Each structure stands twice: as C-alpha cells, then as structure tokens.
Amino acid sequence: MMRELFEIEASCGGWRVRGQGVAEAEAPYLPTKLQAIEEAHTLASRRYVETGRPTAVLVPMGSGTSVVIATCG
C-alpha cells in the first residue's frame, strides 16, 4: 500500500504543510522549518489513525532533494 505524503515547503519567508486532505487555504503557515515538521507529523499521525493508511512526512533538504523523516503505519 502506498504511503500518503505530507510535505513541507518554503513559503513567503516561512513554511507550509501540504498533504491530501489539507486544503490550500487551510494549510498551516509556520515561521520555522522545525515547527512545520512537527505540524506535518501531527497531521500524518492523525490521518493514519483516522484512515488506517500509512503516512509519511517529506522534508526538503538544502541540496534540492527531499527526505522522508517520519512514517506512521
């Protein structure tokens, strides 16, 4: 079964969390990358509990690649 991804991205001097079930207008805007990672993990955990589908948090690195840093399920 494929994992549902929650991603963070740089946005207007801060960070946003994107993922299935997170409407663009409701996507949390956070001032630090660490806060965005924590919020993405909270959303991914909640989604896993609600649906039973595996989730993961994807974080962009300075090199231009992204890394999965948290998984649920």
Give Cα separations from 61 to 1, 35, 66 (angstroms). 26, 15, 6
Rounded (5°) CA angle 56-6-58: 65
| Residue 10 pLDDT exceeds 70 | yes
What is the pTM for the complete model shown? 0.85
| Residue 52 pLDDT exceeds 90 | yes
Q: What is the mean pLDDT of residues 56-73?
A: 90
- Could you tell me the two tokens for 63? 């090199």
Q: Is the Cβ–Cβ distance between 37 and 69 less than 8 Å?
A: yes
Q: pLDDT category, 70, cuts 50, 70, 90? A: confident
